[in-house]
Amino acid sequence: MKFDFSSYPVRNKGFSEQPMTILDPEPKAMLCGIMEMALIETGSPAARERWQKIQLRNLLKHASERSAFWRKRLGGKKPSDIELASLPILTRQEVLKQAASEGPLLLASDGIPSTPHRTSGSSGTPVRFFVSAVSVQYNFIRSTAQYVMEGRDLSLNRTRLYQSNQPVKNGFSVEESPSWMGPLATLFRSGINKNIEYLNPDAKKLIKELERHDIGYLACRPLFLEWLFNLVDPAFLKRTKTKIWVANAENISNELIRIFSSLEIPIRSVYSSDEVGPIGYGCGAFPGHLHVATSNVMVEVVDASHELDGIRLGKVLVTHLHSYATPFIRYDLGDLACLSETCPCGHLGPTIHRLHGRLSSVLKHRDGKFSSFYIRSESLAALADFTEYRMRQTDYEKIVVEIGGRSELRPEEIGALTAFLKERAGPRFEIEVLAREKIDWGESRKRHGFRSEVVSDRP
């Protein structure tokens, strides 16, 4: 083990001016937090597993003492006698019920504030729960830790784009700050932090905004890049000095993978959820493999009977070790994946692979099987003009397509969309194409192009 900070952009005034002190409290605490997370996630597997078991026992004890819901769920057993796999799976509806009836399980006397939170609603009804200040702080430090753990250049800018659910002027808004490193900004020089919130943006103005600074680390969904590449050549990312694409761990098309490979811009996937924060970070050597954020969660994959495109996958369950405000223990995310004890790269820790994402993002069939249904927005844009779109599987053999920004559609547009989607989904599907002035997205903050609303007949 070697500690060497010679390549780090330490500020000339980065060290403390106080007597007998090297670092001021804020950067010292954050640097210590990063070190702790790296120790857990890359250090001794035996020590990590022991720590996780103790943290799980602490969480179970807290939940049983503060919650009637959890006392009943744990069946009166002592936390030290409980094996994680013996507990029932926690559903979204159960979380909603517990949080609504009991409120946060952290009290004012605990000295740890908790606040209401909710999911984006991408899985249907948003999940409302409570999150502690400790969890919020962990999420920020763990995100920053990935840059340190991979030895990334801290001096680069970071540009994050995310979809809004509220109209904004010109279709997007920009928030800039001089650093993306929080308390470490006083110790290390970093590039600027730029957050861009968008919804049906003015394309020319948004492109001009992206050109205003070097992009550096680009964090966005695959669908945004597919939209962008309809307007500019992919070489745009090279011209704007994009270093790495940090992608949400949802479906990344083979075409996007090919484009980034040709540009020699690495892709790093991040798997997280609103409920529990970071779950896994993409392996730099083996794309599609995600190292579990073991300092935050324990991951299980159960019921590997779900067949997707000929591959057996299981349901992803997570236990959030810091979820003291609203416990998430064996929580069903609704995702499908495989889980290995180690990664092919040599990482000695649990690794998620073949992650497909929500069960609601695949086509469901009567025989219990699933199939991929990944449609690029540019494919639809070639067949009809729209400002937004949404596809919903409303029955085993029916898909409803809503084309936004249109009061009506020409017969040839309806015909072209119908033929294209039948070819992708299968000839037995009925395709209903509807024109919408504006699509009603309900409470959801995420606007997924496709969602299956079919409740499977199988358990």
Q: Which of 52-66, 222-236, 269-283 has the least mean pLDDT? A: 222-236
Q: Which band of pLDDT confidence, cut at 50, 70 and 90, is reported for residue 459? A: very low
What angle, 0 to 180 degrees and rounded to 10, lies between the N-to-C axes of helices 25-42 and 45-66? 110
Question: 230 in helix, strand or coil?
Answer: coil
The predicted-structure confidence for 349-386, as pLDDT tens digits, reads as follows: 999 998 876 655 678 888 777 777 777 777 888 899 88
DSSP state of 366: T
pTM of the complete model? 0.82
Q: At a CB cut-off of 8 Å and minimum separation 6, what does 45 contact?
A: 348, 349
DSSP state of 108: G
Average pLDDT, the chain: 90
CB crowding 427-436: b at 16 or more within 10 Å, else e:
eebebebebb
The predicted-structure confidence for 90-112, as pLDDT tens digits, reads as follows: 999 999 999 999 999 999 999 99
Residue 1: pLDDT over 70:
no
Query: What is the structure's pLDDT at 124?
Result: 55
What kind and span of H or E run contains 179? Answer: none
306 φ/ψ sector (left φ>0, alpha ψ -120 to 50, else beta) = beta
